[in-house]
């Protein structure tokens, strides 16, 4: 080892992290070296001396969570996962003997199929708690995780048997705190008194365009004090002793029920002689010569690349490795004792952690009797949700101040309100904070709760990023959206969704369900709760829809296949065993198609009605089933949905027609809106007859 290198083992470890980061970014010729370099002392201090995390079992249930909200600084996290020798998990979530991030993986930073993508992805790299990159998302995720820990402690901890008591840490930067979601998340964290949550703010005062002074001048400490946080300040990121003192205060509960905000001043790319403190250090490689000069500043061999000096692995193993293993083994012993004393609660924990559901979880889901007047699918959803939640103790969530409208309030005995003084409550009041709600739901789902958030469909646009990230992360978050069309009525086009449903359907690995009546709603919830790696958007109506007589129409269980023949043409009107026309719809428009079916049948036109609540589920069926529902031989097809027609051409076919919205709606009672925009049985019949005539 070069004698000019640091002899202090802590400094050696920090500089190893720094040089791995700059080498990886330089080799990839892409990435963000500045923050991993300047924050290396902070990451090292937190992981080595405070974080309760076992590298030998990175999914241990009571581990502390570390969220890298500044996802572009991914090499900070990758270097920690590598140097702590954290192992990868197998498909069942069990530890393997393979490192989650090897030195070779670091050399393959940002390369195809590597475990070191440009921004951390939890489904790619074990030890990454949540996928981050869009700034601020990780902060709201961390709030959801902190809520989940408090809930788990309230639900499961018993006198003398404390199983849950972990902390959640998030590292954020200037960009995270400029994003609006950080304001939402900070406000609700302070309101809830999340004393188990600590945000560490890297105040390097640099963004892509230059100094933060270009765009902000707020007093961040005052902002967080006003939000009810305990605020501390560390003047130099290299002062590990000062940071250690603040982290100990947090861990020891010195701030009570206040979440902790630690502002750490840093110099981006510390040690780079020409680029430290500049915007150039933020999002581009330092350059080969600057890397050498920076290594010289650290007393590092200038030409050495990806060097891990002797003693570094061992030091991490003696610190976080030994501490984490001891805590994890002690927890396992406590859980064994807990299981003997409280077998029913232990069974709940095991089912929850495995992504399962209790036996009989759907036994009380109501069956809705036929009713021509019916009820809104938001109303039937509320009944179904309560029937399920009463039997799934870890199902919890709420609305963005809209629970009375979305019908998501849990009303069964003991449901309770999730508030500062009642952490076991299952009704979450997110406030008018849709963006934070979506990301908090993801954080709760990552903590193994079955979490839901709800609002009006039009406001799903506020939640776009967390909804997309739920799909990318493969977590079964639940999003309940009501007021799903121009059926909103008098509130007008500002509240009438047009493009929202198709935009949600466009997200890969997103299950969108738009049920047609109360019994399809029941089946939709069954399908949604069975998902383990796919989030669900449940799309519900404001207006009442008829509850169909399933003695006349096909079983609502067909929803699980995405689309099914609800009613077919009478045999006497079939031609070669096929109908003349197929009407295809989702949600409220299914009833419209049934009215058209009746009229066409009376006119002697063989008509099939297909309920299609989910494109995604239908596409998963085999070819024989899809052909059975939508045979190629029947080209006269009409699709009906009170939204954008984009995508419906796939099911209407080249000779069919898609009835939908081609502009915004209007403020009016629904009875006047429907004929204005062509959503009448007569319009469907006319479209069908026109297609048949063309053939």
What are the residue numbers of the active site? 434
Nearest to 148 by CA among 94, 93, 192: 192
Q: Are 543 and 376 in contact (CB under 8 A)?
A: yes
Nearest to 382 by CA among 514, 538, 548, 148: 538
Q: Are 169 and 260 in contact (CB under 8 A)?
A: no
As a whole number of angstroms, the distance between CA 210 and CA 208 comes to: 6
Reading phi first (left if > 0) and then psi (alpha if -120 to 50, else beta), residue 309 is in beta
As a whole number of angstroms, the distance between CA 440 and CA 41 comes to: 29
- Buried b / exposed e across 468-506, counting CB within 10 Å, b at 16+? bbbbbbbbbbbbbbbbbbbbbbeeeeebbbbebbbbbbe
- Buried b / exposed e across 261-292, counting CB within 10 Å, b at 16+? bbbbbbbbbbbbeebbbbbbbbbbbbbeebbe
Q: For 72-127, list the strands marked E by DSSP.
A: 87-89, 95-99
And the tokens for 144?
A: 């959801």
Q: Are 494 and 508 in contact (CB under 8 A)?
A: no
Alpha helices in 478-606 (DSSP H): 500-505, 518-529, 589-602
Q: Are 408 and 382 in contact (CB under 8 A)?
A: yes
DSSP 271: T
As a whole number of angstroms, the distance between CA 406 and CA 481 comes to: 7
Q: Are 370 and 547 in contact (CB under 8 A)?
A: yes
3-class secondary structure, 452: strand
The neighbour count for residue 315, using CB atoms within 10 Å, is: 17
* Strand pairing class (395-399; 581-585): unpaired
Q: Are 477 and 449 in contact (CB under 8 A)?
A: no
Determine the straight-line distance between the first and last CA of the chain, rounded to whole angstroms.
84
């Amino acid at each position: 080892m070069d004698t000019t290198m640091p002899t202090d083992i802590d400094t050696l470890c920090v500089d190893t992290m720094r040089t791995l980061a700059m080498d990886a970014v330089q080799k990839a010729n892409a990435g963000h070296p500045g923050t991993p370099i300047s924050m290396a002392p902070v990451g090292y201090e937190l992981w080595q001396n405070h974080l309760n995390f076992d590298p030998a079992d990175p999914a241990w249930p009571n581990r502390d969570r570390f969220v890298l909200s500044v996802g572009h600084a991914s090499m900070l996290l990758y270097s920690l996962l590598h140097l702590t020798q954290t192992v990868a998990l197998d498909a069942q979530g069990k530890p393997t003997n393979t490192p989650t991030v090897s030195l070779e993986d670091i050399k393959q930073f940002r390369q195809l199929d590597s475990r070191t993508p440009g921004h951390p992805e939890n489904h790619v790299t074990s030890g990454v708690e949540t996928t981050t990159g869009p700034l601020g998302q990780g902060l709201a995720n961390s709030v959801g995780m902190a809520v989940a820990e408090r809930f788990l402690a309230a639900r499961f901890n018993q006198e003398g048997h404390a199983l849950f008591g972990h902390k959640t840490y998030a590292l954020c930067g200037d960009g995270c705190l400029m994003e609006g979601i950080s304001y939402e998340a900070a406000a609700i964290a302070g309101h809830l008194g999340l004393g188990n949550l600590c945000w560490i703010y890297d105040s390097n005062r640099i963004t892509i365009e230059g100094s933060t002074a270009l765009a902000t001048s707020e007093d961040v400490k005052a902002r967080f004090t006003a939000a009810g946080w305990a605020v501390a300040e560390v003047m130099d990121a290299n002062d590990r002793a000062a940071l250690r003192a603040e982290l100990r205060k947090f861990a020891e509960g010195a701030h009570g029920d206040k979440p902790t905000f630690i502002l750490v001043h840093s110099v981006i790319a510390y040690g780079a002689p020409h680029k430290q403190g500049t915007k150039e250090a933020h999002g581009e490689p330092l350059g080969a010569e600057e890397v050498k000069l920076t290594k010289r500043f650290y007393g590092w061999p200038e030409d050495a690349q990806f060097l891990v000096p002797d003693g570094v692995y061992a030091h991490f193993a003696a610190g976080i490795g030994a501490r984490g293993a001891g805590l994890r083994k002690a927890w396992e012993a406590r859980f064994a004792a807990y299981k003997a004393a409280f077998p029913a609660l232990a069974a709940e924990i095991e089912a929850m952690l495995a992504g399962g559901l209790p036996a009989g979880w759907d036994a009380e889901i109501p069956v809705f009797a036929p009713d021509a007047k019916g009820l809104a699918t938001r109303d039937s959803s509320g009944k179904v949700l309560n029937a399920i939640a009463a039997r799934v103790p870890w199902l919890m969530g709420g609305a963005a101040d809209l629970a009375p409208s979305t019908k998501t309030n849990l009303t069964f005995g003991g449901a309770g309100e999730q508030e500062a003084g009642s952490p076991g409550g299952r009704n979450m009041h997110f406030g008018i904070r849709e963006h934070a709600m979506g990301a908090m739901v993801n954080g709760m789902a990552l903590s193994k709760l079955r979490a839901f958030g709800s609002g009006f469909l039009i406001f799903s646009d506020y939640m776009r990023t967390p909804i997309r990230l739920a799909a990318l992360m493969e977590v079964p978050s639940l999003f309940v959206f009501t007021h799903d069309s121009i059926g909103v009525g008098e509130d007008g086009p500002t509240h009438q969704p047009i493009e929202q449903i198709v935009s949600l359907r466009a997200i890969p690995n997103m299950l969108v369900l738009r049920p047609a009546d109360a019994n399809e709603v029941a089946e939709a919830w069954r399908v949604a709760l069975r998902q383990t790696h796919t989030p669900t958007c449940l799309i519900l109506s404001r207006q009442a829809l008829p509850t169909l007589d399933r003695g006349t129409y096909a079983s609502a269980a067909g929803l699980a296949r995405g689309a099914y023949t609800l009613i077919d043409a009478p045999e006497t009107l079939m031609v070669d065993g096929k109908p003349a026309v197929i009407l295809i719809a989702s949600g409220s428009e299914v009833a419209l198609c049934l009215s058209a079916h009746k009229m066409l049948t009376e006119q002697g036109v063989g008509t099939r009605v297909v309920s299609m609540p989910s494109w995604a589920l239908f596409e998963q069926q085999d070819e024989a089933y899809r052909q059975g529902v939508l045979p190629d031989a029947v080209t006269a097809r009409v699709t009906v949905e009170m939204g954008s027609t984009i995508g419906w051409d796939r099911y209407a076919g080249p000779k069919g027609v898609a009835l939908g919205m081609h502009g915004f709606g209007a403020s009016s009672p629904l009875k006047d809106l429907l004929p204005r925009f062509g959503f009448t049985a007569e319009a469907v019949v006319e479209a069908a007859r026109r297609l048949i005539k063309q053939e």
